[in-house]
Chain A
Amino acid sequence: MSRFLTPAKIGLLALMELYVEGAVPNDAIMPVLGFISSLLLNRDLVTAAASPSPAERWKRADRNIALIVSVKEFKKVLAPFAAADGVPGRRLWDRFLEKLWGIDSLHGLREFFDRLPNLIARTKDELRELAAHGHPPPVGVFLTRSSIFGVFVRRAHGNSRLLQLHQTAEVWKLFVKYRHPTAGHWRKRNPLYGRLSFDSVLMAGEQQWGNHTEAVAVAAYGDMLLVGDHDVTLPVTYDDVEALSEFQIDQMQKYGNRAPRDVRVKFQRLVKDSHFIPSLSHYLSFSDATRAGDYPMSFDYLYRYFDYTMQKSDRLFYQYALMNLAIVQSEFGSHEEAIDTMLETVSVARENRDLPCLNFTLNWFFHFGRAHPNLIYDLENSSMPTNEKASLAYLRVRARETGMWILWCSTLQSEAKVGLARGDSISAAMEDMVRSSQLIVLRNMKPMVGPQLIMRISLWDRLGLANMSSMSCEAFLRCYARNCLLEDELKVICRLAGLLAGKGKYEEAFARLEAIDPSTLCNAKTNQYWHFYRGLLKLRRDLHRGNLVSSETLLSQLLQTGPEDLEPDMVFVLDSLHMEALTRRGDLDAAFTKLDGLMAQLRETNRDISLRIRLLLIKAHIFDCAGRPEKGFSAAMRAARLAWRARLMSLIWQSLGALANIMNSLGEFEPAARLCVAILPRCLEADAAHTAGWLYSVLADARVGQAASAAAEEGHGGPAGLVGGIVLPMRNLSLEHTKQNHQQQQHGGGGKREEYLVQAHDALGSAGKYFADVEDVQKLCEVLAKKATLMKMMGQDGLAEEYARRYLLLRRGEGLEMYCG
């Protein structure tokens, strides 16, 4: 089997010959040349056109395979055009067939190859030589030597000369088979066509040999004639397979997606029929298996790949082999082994003085350390640069020295990320991002735009600018997604869905998630991520709706996914939801134990500051639920302080809300109300509906408290101690109690008090709206109960009854639509 020449390439050469002969009519020139050059270019430059969509990319690969397999592909291009020679009814396709069938024997093929140099423009020397021999210089269109066509023709010619005879014969046999589907068409034009017409020698011999001809033909052509059309070997060469594998690997590495199933199946058939399997195809299988989440197979293929490449010069890249191995190990969750492998990589790379590899390794260690701080802990103390910042600065300098722009850029981004996580100055982080952004623009690193935007999205999130964040998401999806890793795209989509869900637009969020390109989900990791994220959204919704049973099931399913398979952020989200579920079920002990565990874990490692704040807030919340909010005071204070320092806006509002709540419980209604009023508008900006609802309900409590104290001042109300008595039962959600209290309040009143109560009612109304948005039934019930109580206090019994009825309805699980509407 030849390395380069295939029947399809012979077809291309024949087409070029037609073109040079001037047989291609004017209107067909562009399509024909476009067809040829797209095929030739695809072989050499994958990214010829400006970033086509993934589907188009695969379609092209598909067409390449189709062309290798069948001659029909030529027909699609050529049949629509008439031939240039003016005979009516003759198509360009006919001329092409004439060319193909003109190659009528092995020797004909040889002559065809030997004729190839005639297609190429002569050099001056050759022209001089021709003139010396008295030949006129050739006229007509020619291909220049260094044009794409010229290079192809010369390469084909050179390759044809290198072939051994049996290889040429092999090409010839394949060509006969490749051409065979056109036999019917050819027979119509050529009445002399017979069974043995594919070889002129056989046809001539038929007269002499008679019925022995068949035996001779079988002897020469082997089983090809016996098996007939069912023969399965495809005319594929090493060159094709290599080009296709390179293309696929490129796709996988660049975009992280797998080939569509049908392309993959076709490709595997090609590989099966190729005599030489390039070692690259093992690498391809390895990547594919990794993407498919097939752990044992991917290891098998990786080792096989390195066994086959050991003999070549690739041995120098042993460190890269190790690096790949480490990445696979970490991807499949065996982190300790990954660390060992990576350390070996470092030592090997150091031995070979492979700076880029060292830099990559360091980068990997950095990211790995961020994801799994506990594992890296021992190392950090002994051998690694102790400080993250220092190691990043070192990495940045090295990347700049070695000209690894992508690494440089991602280091800057990492620096920004670390700064944010540690709660350092926002402007410093911003500066890093601007620098990386400048690098991206300067070096035109399209693939890096994705991470940059993701960084920016999270920055806006932290600053509580939800609009900016969702806008960035949209910008990414619309403009840059096709140049970026699929994983990034998926993450952005999930982020967007999360934002929508935060606003209570669950349906839209789910629609976003469902609308994702199914090819993305071929990949095991993305698939898992997607499912997990969907599960989380569902879980949150169920919790809000109070579907404790279904949420329990969902939670148990989600908890089965081990933390090693997930990103730490997701694990944290899951943990916090778990705690919320426990709280909602009233199992505060369990929730608190879990919280304690998480706190301890977090304290050991040096993680994102926002996580700590969140845990503190949850703590405060648990105390609140336990009816002793004041115990959460220090937690809330610390949370507020940390959040302020790190400018984590949405968290500040939450912690301040928690503070206000505690103040309420301490009877400090006035400052609590002031606090709530101050932060509410800022919180609304952050698009966090649940927080907003909660703040409103805290405000309402404060207002009621204020009303009580106003009444006390006016002397109508009971003793000041009662105030707590008013607020607390309302929080305890017991209707009877509130009613009782309400009766106690009945005779209170006056202008100030009324005003506060009306304000409280308004606040409750807003809170109810926001809770209804996020479908939080429990909170909504709370709000309704409070409203009913308020109405009772204000003496509007009818409305109070109405609220009480709605409350009951809601408790039974009906009537939520009314609020959501």
Chain B
Amino acid sequence: MGLSAKDSVHLKEALQVAVVKCSERCLYQSAKWAAELLDALPDPPEAELGQTTAGGSGPDVHPAFVPNVDPLEAALEAQELNKYLLAKSYFDCKEFDRCAAVFLPDSLLSGVLSAKQGDAETSKAKASTSLPSEQTLPNISQKSLFLALYAKVIAGEKLKDEDSEMIMGPQDLGSVVNKQLLIVSRFLERWFAERKTDDGELPASQGFLEYLYGMALVKEKNDSAALDYLMQSVHLFPWNWGCWLEITNLIARVEQLNKIAPHLPQNIMSFIFHANTAVNLYQQGQDLAASLTDLLNIFPKSSFLLTCKALLNYHSKDLLTAEQDFSNLLALHPHRLDSLDHYSNILYVLNLRPKLAFLAHLCSSIDKFRPESCVVIGNYYSLLSSHEKAVQYFRRALTLDRTCLSAWTLMGHEYVELKNTHAAIESYRRAVDVNRRDYRAWYGLGQTYEVLEMHAYALWYYKKAAGLRPWDGKMWQAVGSCLQKMGRERDGIKALKRALLADSYYDSTSSSFGSTGAVDRMAQMDPEVLLQIAAMYDRLDEEEEAKAYMELCVAQEDGGASGADVGGLADSVAIHHDFPGAGSDGEGEGAGDRAAGHEGIGVTPATSKARMWLARHAMRAEDYATATRLATELCQDGVEVEEAKALIREARSRMELGSMVER
């Protein structure tokens, strides 16, 4: 699909306006994002374009450069143009305090704030709502006000970075705060309060101040109020991507996303936001994929959307496709470093060492002081098992940007490798503090506690991880093992069964997601998990169940589901295929026909163990023929030959004994 030429022109214009407005306010990242999107938008065909331009009036000014529509604001802006230009150039030169002081000198600011404070006290004392402040707010345009306050915030951030201790040093508690935020939020609080008309309505504004206030509130952890203001902001000016991102960060669960979705403005930005947030929440599925594809039709070369798509594939464990996506992205934008850290994760998992080395080289030649580059290099060193060096690079990434989530998590992984569990726990904890949606950090925390044999803690964290990735078998497997170790076999079995389901679920989604010739792992079940379940049943003395799972496990050797007609599991598999959203196409019909085309996974330690158990079981059940057969198979596979031979001998002797007795 595409847009009509007219829409396309409008979209273009809107984006152009967005770029200009954002850069007027020094929102560089948002401006960049919008400009990228603008660049990705293809030109509409000439013919249609001609029509539209002919329709419009000829020599009008581009909307990006028309004065403010609000006459009051326009007058103010015109009046203070000189000062604005001065402030803007200060900001561009990174003299933030000076920039802020152009419009809001410290004397004025302190006056406003003290008045405010006094006001608060009086309001507390007298419970009166009057605002008899002697110091009035300066009468400047919103644009200038935003610039000044934003400069204050940025100056505070800078100061905060300077005050911060060395990463993970003894003094580094992550507790340094931006001291300017309080001032800014007080100021804005009063500003909004003063603007509020008697009936509680706000006159129309440009949306940026709401965004700034929302940001300040987010930092104060006042999430719901923040969300309110941010939503207001996107309603007023939807083209500020930074604002959307703030909203994304506030949303922790899909349900929340679905809840706020109706309240969002209905335009293309909200569409993009929705897709992006869903990807960040590890969602997957047809709808999401479809919406991304739609967006990609409009912006065919948008690096942002391509990244989203690649990430979607990554989250649905389709690593090869994701790798290709990222690789293409790299070819299209070789100098773009954003989200290459995810790419390096993929390469790490796929163990593509030369490629990862190349990527690291590329990143370090482009800019070795970007957190992404450091993460990529750290990943490379981690792959080479030089964990100290990897830690060094992750630390560097964090020094550059303390909110670099993946660096915290990966550093945790490295510390686990280095057997430094305390440091590992701390880094994971920091990762979680930065972003509560990072399942790997939760999982890592669980793992670390498991290593420390604190299973109750581990279980808690595993559950968190599983909650974030309900369709990831690994999470459930971890939960199951943890339960097993705590002696809660029943729950463990449940969790592990869920793991089996989850694995198959992923396979079905990935195969449905446009990837041709996808690796269809569907009918295979992890023999390890099966063995674990069986062992737990065994512990519970439910021999039949145990035997069924053992057989299923052995059956994985050659084409999985051929033995799937065992007991309850077939049902569960069937249930899984009824799961909405998955088997909507003909592919997920049944396990049986699918399995035909499968090769097995071959002999693994797990299957051998299962076989051994089965052989013993057969011995116990005095089914000597089966026992002999299984033991012989074991001998053929060359696993635990001695024991297997002993079994065969015993079975023979028993059989002979039996025959003798019969005789």
Contact = CB atoms under 8 A, between A and B. Distances in A.
A213 interface: yes
Interface stretch (A179-187, A219-227, A526-534, A806-814): A219-227
A52 interface: no
Given A107-B354, A199-B358, A200-B354, A165 B331 contact: no
Interface string A162-190: 00011001001000000000000000000
Contacts of B357: 105-107, 110, 201
Contacts of A221: 365
Interface of B is mostly: helix
Contact of A106 (B324, B330, B360): B360
Most buried by A among B358, B384, B393: B358
A212 B353 contact: no
Interface string A208-250: 1110110110111110000000000000000000000000000
Interface in A131-178: 161, 165-166, 169, 172
B335 interface: yes
B361 A172 contact: yes
A166 B334 CA distance: 18
A108 interface: yes
A105 B358 contact: yes
B328 A105 contact: no
B360 A165 contact: yes
Given A165-B377, A201-B355, A209 B364 contact: no
Contact of A220 (B362, B377, B380, B384): B362
A540 B330 CA distance: 84
B274 to A, nearest CB: 31
Most buried by B among A108, A165, A218: A165
Nearest to B332: A212
Given A107-B356, A212-B334, A219 B366 contact: yes
A213 B358 contact: no
B594 interface: no
Interface string B327-341: 110111011000000
A20 interface: no
Contacts of A213: 331
Place the interface of chain A in its size category. Answer: 20 to 34
Contacts of A728: none
A209 B380 contact: no
B40 to A, nearest CB: 16
A327 interface: no
B364 A169 contact: yes
B476 interface: no
Nearest to B377: A165
B518 to A, nearest CB: 18
A798 interface: no
Interface in A99-146: 104-108, 110, 114
B331 A215 contact: yes
A781 to B, nearest CB: 87
B58 to A, nearest CB: 40
A597 interface: no
A205 interface: yes
B354 A216 contact: no
Contacts, number: 77
Nearest to B324: A208
B461 interface: no
Given A107-B353, A165-B381, A221-B365, A205 B331 contact: yes
Contacts of A110: 357, 384
B477 to A, nearest CB: 31
A202 interface: yes
Contacts of B331: 205, 208-210, 212-213, 215-216
Contacts of A219: 334-335, 362, 365-366
B576 interface: no
A220 B356 CA distance: 12
A491 to B, nearest CB: 58
Most buried by B among A104, A169, A208: A169
Contacts of B354: 104-108, 200-201
Given A200-B354, A208-B324, A216-B330, A165 B380 contact: yes
Place the interface of chain B in its size category. Answer: 20 to 34
B436 interface: no
Contacts of B381: 165
B609 interface: no
B269 to A, nearest CB: 29
A223 to B, nearest CB: 10
A297 B303 CA distance: 57
A469 B357 CA distance: 72
Interface string B368-380: 1000000001001
Contacts of A169: 360-361, 364-365
B343 to A, nearest CB: 13
A216 B362 contact: yes
Contacts of A107: 353-354, 356-358
Contacts of B368: 165-166
A281 to B, nearest CB: 28
Nearest to A222: B365
Contacts of B327: 205, 208-209
A213 to B, nearest CB: 7
A675 to B, nearest CB: 93
B354 to A, nearest CB: 4
Nearest to A104: B354
Nearest to B366: A219
A744 to B, nearest CB: 109
Nearest to B368: A166
Contacts of A215: 331, 334
B138 to A, nearest CB: 48
A209 B361 CA distance: 18
Contacts of A212: 331-332, 334
A344 B354 CA distance: 61
Contacts of A201: 354-355, 357-358
Interface string A677-694: 000000000000000000
A221 B327 CA distance: 17
B51 to A, nearest CB: 35
Contact of A166 (B328, B353, B364, B384): B364
A172 B365 CA distance: 12
Contacts of A172: 361
Nearest to A214: B334
B361 A106 contact: yes
Contacts of B332: 212
Contacts of B334: 212, 215-216, 218-220
A199 B359 CA distance: 12
A159 to B, nearest CB: 14
A446 B468 CA distance: 82
A729 B436 CA distance: 126
Contacts of B377: 165
Contacts of A114: 384
Nearest to A106: B357
Given A201-B358, A218-B334, A219-B335, A165 B353 contact: no
Given A165-B364, A165-B381, A166-B364, A220 B328 contact: no
Interface in A508-544: none
B336 to A, nearest CB: 9
A161 B355 CA distance: 20
A210 B330 CA distance: 12
Contacts of B356: 107
A215 B380 CA distance: 23
5 contacts: A106-B358, A107-B358, A165-B377, A215-B331, A222-B365
Q: Which 7 A-B pairs have the closest CB atoms?
A: A212-B331, A107-B357, A219-B334, A209-B331, A220-B362, A201-B358, A106-B357
Interface of B: 324, 327-328, 330-332, 334-335, 353-358, 360-362, 364-366, 368, 377, 380-381, 384, 386, 393
Given A106-B354, A220-B361, 11 more contacts: A107-B353, A165-B364, A165-B377, A166-B368, A204-B355, A208-B328, A208-B331, A209-B331, A215-B331, A219-B362, A220-B362
